[in-house]
Chain A
Amino acid sequence: MIDEKLDSLFLNIKNDCMNLIREKDVSLEEISFALGISSREFISNFQTRIKDFSFYLETYRILMEW
């Protein structure tokens, strides 16, 4: 139940982040830098859901304000 909820939350945020990256043409290197991680880690975090959801919320926040 919780896993399903978190998976769905992850997918929704991921889609919104993708749309913002696309709309604003944000470079993966730049957004990763702003988050304080490498672009490799950024990509990996979006490939498989990580436990620390603050990463997704922070990514979305930064992308909104980009």
Chain B
Amino acid sequence: MEPKEKYEQLIEEQSQELKRELDNYRAMIKSAEILSMPKDDIQKYISNLLENQKTLLLLFPQLISNLQIIKFFWENNALEIEQVTIALNNILTDERVKDCFSNKEKYQLQAKKLESEIKELDEKSLSAKASFILKANITDEEKISILKELAYESCKNATTKEEAKLQTQDKESKEIETLFSEEATVNVNEEELKKLKEEYLKIKDSIESIISKYYYLIKGKDEKYINYNREMAKAIKAQESKDNLNLSALGIDEFQYKDISMTVLLLDMLETKQELELQLNNTNTTLEDINDYFNILKEDYNKAIALDSILTEEKIEEEKTTNEIYFLLDESNSPFFDMDKFSKEEKKRSLSLVEKFEKGIHDHEKGKKHTKLQSRRHKFDIYINKSSNMCVSYIRAKDNKVLILTFAHLNNIFDDSNSIAQNYTSLIKNTLKNIESKNALFLEQQEEFTEQFKTIVAIKGDEHK
């Protein structure tokens, strides 16, 4: 490359570098201005904050959860809720945000300095060029050659100057029934009707038995809640009777929350059963109608039986207790968490979560301190227990044993656990096999790691006391 070309390239690179630096300072200044605006009109303040959230997140990605909370309540006209104040306070007291506030003047000075440097470079003033060449990382021969050429050009075009205008780009961010309508034809065949009644009587007890088993799901519940579930049942039926190619809602058996599947099904069964019994005793009815109701009831009953086995299995799982704990370790026997990243308090909480397992307390019914991870992305049943903001995710192995996947903060536990379950499916399967077969080498590695884990957590936890 000719010295002049090399120089042009260097100067362009330098200019780009300075512009990137300037953009960063400008974003810092803008963020500080947005966040320090008066809060008398909170609507205006939040609106401005959300309009500029992309700028803020580029600099402070750690603010995403709090910004999402604010955005959620903003969209739902509930800015008065205390969580908005807490989220806003979390943003304003964030260490990096506080640094940004206190350094605003420094950033302004830096930005001015950079603007001037960029202007000089873009205008390619002789002094800026010469100064840049002298500092550039090129050989002395190249420097002399370029300077000579510059001197010549300068003499030749002494009166011409290029003016480069700075263009700032403001990037704006803006995210984020009718059933059974067939005409009745009065045509009841007595024999057929008798046969249907007998058939119904045969399964009536079983239907009533399953209804009674899960009646607690609707007993004493809020009327609105019951109505929503009824509406859901109707919507699903309406959907199933239309074109199945473009389903707007999932069917009951595809619901992730199985108790809800059973609730919707139960309400549907109660209604259909009542209607069927009315039709069976109605002399003006048609066999077609009776058959329709009966078929729907049988279909619902079969779904309820399938759901019952899932829910019963979950209940049995909930009743298990254990004192055997294993950790998911990768090929190099390292866990999927780094205890050193946690504070002493968090280590203490991790230890207490493990100790709870050792005492055989699982508490993994869904609740405020324990939950079951909902995901369609993997086939493992993953449970999460929580102590303050510290969480542990685990899989229940056979014979009441626990396989710990990872420890993480509440904000990360769902993503971290999902990611492990998705990306390390074979490892999890093999580990579960090793637990079941009591593989000697595996048990030895586990014992070694457990000791190591407890030493790190216990000692550092004690220091906190």
Contact = CB atoms under 8 A, between A and B. Distances in A.
Question: Is this pair of chains taken from one and the same complex?
Answer: yes
Interface of A: 1-3, 5-6, 9, 12-14, 16, 18, 21-22, 25, 27-30, 33-41, 43, 46-47, 51-58, 60-62, 64
Interface of A, secondary structure class, is helix
Top 6 nearest A-B pairs (CB, nearest first) are A54-B255, A54-B260, A38-B414, A54-B257, A36-B374, A58-B257
A35 B75 contact: no
A27 B84 CA distance: 10
B384 interface: yes
B344 interface: no
A45 to B, nearest CB: 11
B235 A46 contact: no
A43 B254 CA distance: 22
Interface stretch (B92-100, B221-229, B279-287): B221-229
Nearest to B376: A52
Contacts, number: 128
Contacts of A18: 76, 78
B256 A54 contact: yes
Contacts of B372: 36
A51 B247 contact: yes
Is the interface on chain B under 10, 10 to 19, 20 to 34, or 35 or more residues?
Answer: 35 or more
Contacts of A55: 256-257
Interface stretch (B14-22, B65-73, B116-124): B65-73
A36 B222 contact: no
Nearest to A25: B82
A3 B235 CA distance: 9
Nearest to B371: A36
B65 A39 contact: yes
Contact of B83 (A25, A35, A57): A25
Interface in B217-271: 221-222, 224-225, 228-229, 231-232, 235, 238-239, 242, 247-250, 254-257, 259-261, 263-264
B366 interface: yes
A53 B83 contact: no
Contacts of A47: 72, 75, 176
B181 to A, nearest CB: 14
Contact of A34 (B176, B229, B371): B371
A6 B413 CA distance: 32
B247 A61 contact: no
Nearest to A58: B257
A3 to B, nearest CB: 5
Contact of A37 (B255, B367, B374): B374
A34 B366 contact: yes
B238 A2 contact: yes
B81 interface: yes
